[in-house]
Amino acid sequence: MGTKKKKKIEWINILAPFVVLAIIVVILEVLAKSGKVAEYVLPAPSKVVAGTIKSFGRAILPDFLFSIKIILIGFISATILGLLLAAVFSQFSIVAKATSPVIIWLVITPMITLVPLVLLWLGNDPNVRVIIVILQASPIICLNTLTGLTTIETEKKELARSVGATRFQAFIKINFMNAMPQVFTGIKLGCIFSIIGSISADFVAKTIGMGNKIIQFTKYVQTDLAYGSILLVALLGIGMYMLIEAIEKKVVIWRK
Amino acid sequence: MAKNDKLILSHITKSFSDGKNQLDVIKDFTHTVKEQESVVILGPSGCGKSTLLKIAGGIIDASSGEIILNGVNYKTQIPKEALKTFGFVFQTSNLLHWRTVAGNLLFTLEVMRLKGKEWTDRVDEILDIVGLLQYKEVFPHELSGGMKQRVAVARALVHNPEILILDQSFGALDAITRKMLSFEVLKIHQATNKTMLMVTNNVPEAVLLASRVLVLSNKPTEIVKEISVDIPFEERVPEIYADSRFLEYCSEINSVIRDNM
């Protein structure tokens, strides 16, 4: 394939999502301005953006910064914890088998159902929400990494043995590198789960955070700001996800 | 034990058990590989040829018997520190797809802690021998099947082992590439005089590369026939396939295989 054609396809791939987004925005704008839908149900996207920018510094910024703090600290801690647990579990198949149901249980249980209990145990300090984010994100990171670390071809193990690799050498040079695609899948899912965990905790604990703001704005029929807050949380998530994906593209440059 | 005995497999048995039943794959196998010779093993599919090579190469242990390498009796398994003696080429290229061609060779050197300019130069030297020096920074997914297998051969040779073991390493390749690689291995054997132990399912390939051919029986494995191939290595050129001596050896081996099916 020619370089020109390749570049054209790359541009189409970049532009396509923006075109879809633009179409959605236009449809929503037309629908909202047609008067067929009440403004408190669906404000026009232009009003959402304008209202959010206007109120951002005064009404949203402190909660937004708080949520960013909780999400980032929680996500980084969950990544470290998830990777470490997977590394330990992978070394002992009995431990991996014994803990798998618990990890799966933590992955599939909506954290919002556990938040009241966690807050009851740990108190109402808003920073405790980091624990909720860790509990929400680390199991999925651990589960994916563990799958990657334990599903390795017999020939790769034999290769390690044939050159006399120690257990540590085999883990670092073969198992971990072999698991890298699954590790990144886990981290990307962990990023999404961190945001869900943080907003869930805000919904229950209230007082501060973007989840709390969404509830407040909805309660006082400031729908444009509620939508704006949802948009900000989504943008934060997309930004984090794209950053991880960019790192993945730099690290995982091979194909099987 | 003679002075030039390189590897002795003495009364080797390998059994696998599923808890209730025990399956003897190899039973009381004894054979000596001499220094610088090339022993090629032929046998029916599933007879335990690969298992035998993995025991010989220290990848798996034997259930009983003795493995004597360079005069040292290691009992049923060769320890890690003695594995530098071997270079193992697997059935598939078994390359680490996250490493470049050079990176795959460096993997062996890193694990064996062979450091320094001498060894990094060795990577280039070996890649040059297998004709892949210009591909040293390329990832395995960008290579053809034959090129991958050449990298696998280079990786097995990079630490300068005394014994090269090839486990049906060209089986997955097309006929032309397979023939070409066989001649490359032959060239390497002639140039380095390394002891070679190889399993194949291709009779002409066995005759081309062997100083001795062992034909094995079905499970439990035993040697049915041992044939010395008395064609000087320097005469083993592409035209050898039409040579009457070569064809005679092929026909003899084929008839032994037929009689033992």
The reply to whether B170 falls in a domain is yes
Q: Is A254 in contact with B140 (Cβ distance < 8 A)? A: yes
The answer to whether A194 and A78 have CB atoms below 8 angstroms apart is: yes
Q: Under the phi-then-psi rule, with left for phi > 0, alpha for psi from -120 to 50, and beta for the rest, what region is A164?
A: left
pLDDT for residue A100: 85
* DSSP class per residue in chain B: --TTEEEEEEEEEEEEE-SS-EEEEEEEEEEEEETT-EEEEE--TTSSHHHHHHHHTTSS--SEEEEEETTEE-TTS--GGGGGGEEEE-SS----TTS-HHHHHHHHHHHTT--SHHHHHHHHHHHHHTT-GGGTT--GGGS-HHHHHHHHHHHHHTT--SEEEEESTTTTS-HHHHHHHHHHHHHHHHHH--EEEEE-S-HHHHHHH-SEEEEE-SSSB-EEEEEE--S-GGG-SGGGGG-HHHHHHHHHHHHHHHHT-
The reply to whether B103 falls in a domain is yes
The answer to whether A195 and A25 have CB atoms below 8 angstroms apart is: no
> H or E stretch including A208?
none
List, for residues B100-132, the tens digit of each pLDDT value.
999 999 999 999 999 999 999 999 999 998 889
The reply to whether B2 falls in a domain is no
Q: B-chain residues within 8 Å CB-CB of A252?
A: 98
CA nearest A159 in B: which residue? B94
Residues of chain B with pLDDT under 70: 1, 261
Beta-sheet pairing, B38-42 with B195-199: parallel
User: What strands lie across the sheet with B38-42, from one edge to the other?
Assistant: B86-89, B163-167, B195-199, B38-42, B212-216, B223-228
Q: Is B107 in contact with A173 (Cβ distance < 8 A)? A: yes
Q: A-chain residues within 8 Å CB-CB of B86?
A: 162
Q: A-chain residues within 8 Å CB-CB of B61?
A: none
Burial class (CB in 10 A: 0-12, 13-18, 19+), B34: middle
Nearest Cα residue to B63 out of B88, B29, B32: B29
> Does B172 touch chain A if contact means CB atoms closer than 8 Å?
no
DSSP code of A59?
I
pTM: 0.84
Radius of gyration of chain A (CA): 22
Instruction: For Cα atoms B75, B79, B85, give the angle at the middle one, nearest 5 degrees.
Output: 105
* C-alpha distances in Å from residue B67, one per residue of A90, B12, B191, B192, B194: 32, 8, 27, 24, 19
Q: Is A158 in contact with B108 (Cβ distance < 8 A)? A: no
The answer to whether B151 and B134 have CB atoms below 8 angstroms apart is: no
Q: Hey, how many other C-beta atoms are within 10 angstroms of the C-beta on A43?
A: 22
**Integer Cα distance of B118 and B244 in angstroms:** 45
> Does B110 touch chain A if contact means CB atoms closer than 8 Å?
yes
Q: Is B97 in contact with A255 (Cβ distance < 8 A)? A: yes
List, for residues A13-34, the tens digit of each pLDDT value.
888 888 999 999 999 999 998 8
Q: Which two tokens stand for residue B154?
A: 């280079």
Token pair 């909720």: residue: A132
Q: Give me the average pLDDT of each 10-residue run along chain A (256 residues).
A: 72 88 93 88 92 92 96 97 95 87 88 86 90 94 94 93 94 94 96 94 90 94 94 95 95 82
The reply to whether B196 falls in a domain is yes
**Integer Cα distance of A206 and A200 in angstroms:** 10
> H or E stretch including A92?
none
ipTM of the complex: 0.91
The count of structural domains within chain B is 1
**Integer Cα distance of A150 and B89 in angstroms:** 24
The reply to whether B17 falls in a domain is no
Q: CA of A147, closest CA in chain B: separation in Å?
A: 18
Token pair 């051919």: residue: B213
> Does B148 touch chain A if contact means CB atoms closer than 8 Å?
no
Q: CA of A235, closest CA in chain B: separation in Å?
A: 32
The reply to whether B186 falls in a domain is yes
The reply to whether B118 falls in a domain is yes
What is the CATH classification number for the domain harbouring B146?
3.40.50.300
CA nearest A168 in B: which residue? B111
Q: CA of A244, closest CA in chain B: separation in Å?
A: 19
Interface test with A, best of B98, B143, B166 (most A CBs within 10 A): B98
Helix (H, G, I), strand (E, B) or coil at A138: helix
Q: Is B88 in contact with A254 (Cβ distance < 8 A)? A: no
Token pair 């108190």: residue: A123
pLDDT for residue A2: 62
> Does B36 touch chain A if contact means CB atoms closer than 8 Å?
no
The reply to whether B22 falls in a domain is no
Q: Print the domain residue range for B174.
A: 35-61+77-259
Q: Is A162 in contact with B83 (Cβ distance < 8 A)? A: yes
What are the residues of chain A with a beta carbon less than 8 Å away from any beta carbon of chain B? 155-156, 158-166, 169, 173-174, 177-178, 180, 252-256
Q: CA of A215, closest CA in chain B: separation in Å?
A: 47
Nearest Cα residue to A195 out of A105, A72, A77: A72
CA nearest B56 in A: which residue? A162
Q: Hey, how many other C-beta atoms are within 10 angstroms of the C-beta on B17?
A: 9
List, for residues B199-221, the tens digit of each pLDDT value.
998 999 999 999 999 999 887 78
**Integer Cα distance of B55 and B48 in angstroms:** 11
Q: Is A161 in contact with B84 (Cβ distance < 8 A)? A: no
Q: Is A163 in contact with B108 (Cβ distance < 8 A)? A: yes
pLDDT for residue B231: 93
CB-nearest partner of B141 from A160, A174, A255: A255
pLDDT for residue A1: 52
pLDDT for residue B219: 74
Radius of gyration of chain B (CA): 18
Sequence-separated (6 or more) residues with CB below 8 Å from residue A49: A228
